[in-house]
Structure 1
Amino acid sequence: MGDFGSRVRALLAERGISLRATARALNYDPAYLSRVINGRQQPSEALAAALDGLLEADGALVSLRVPEVRPPEPGAGRPLGIDGDIAHMRASVAHLLAHDNRYGGGTVAPAAVQVWRAEQRKLDRGAVPERARAGYLSAVAELAEIAGWLLFDSRQWDASRTAFLESHLLARQAGDRTMEWFALDMLAMHGVQTGRAGEALRIADELLTRPRVPPRIALLARMRQGRALAQVGDHRRALAALEGARAGLEDSISPRDPAWAWWVNDSEITGHEGEALLAAGEAKAAIPKMRRALELASAHFPEGRGTLYYSVALLAAYATTHAWRECEATLVSINTLLETVASERSRARLRTTLRVMARQPDAPPGVLDLVRQTARAS
Structure 2
Amino acid sequence: MDENIFKPRSGESWRNPYPMYENLRSNHPAYFVEDGSYWVFSRFQDVFNAARNPEIFSSQYGLTIEHNPSDLELGDATPIVFLDPPEHTQFRRIISKGFTPRKANEMTEDIHSFVSDAIDAIKEMESCDIIAELFKPLPSFVVSKYLGVPKSDRKNFDTWTEKIVAGAVHNGDAENTGLDAISELTNYFSEMISWRKKNPGDDLISQLLEIGEERVSIMWILGLAFTMITGGNDTTTGLLGGSAVLLTENQKQKELLLKDLQLLPGAVEELLRMTSPVQNLSRVLVQDFELHGKRIPAGSRVLLSYASANRDEREFGNNSENLNIKRKINQILSFGSGSHFCLGASIARLQSSIALKEILINFPNFYVDESSSEYAAGNYVRRHTYLPFHSSA
Give the shorter-chain TM-score range. Answer: under 0.3
Q: TM-score, normalised by structure 1?
A: 0.27
Structure with the larger RCO, 1 or 2 (CA within 8 Å, 6+ apart):
2
Name whichever structure is richer in strand by fraction: 2
Q: Which has the higher helix share?
A: 1
Q: Which entry has the higher C-alpha Rg, 1 or 2?
A: 1
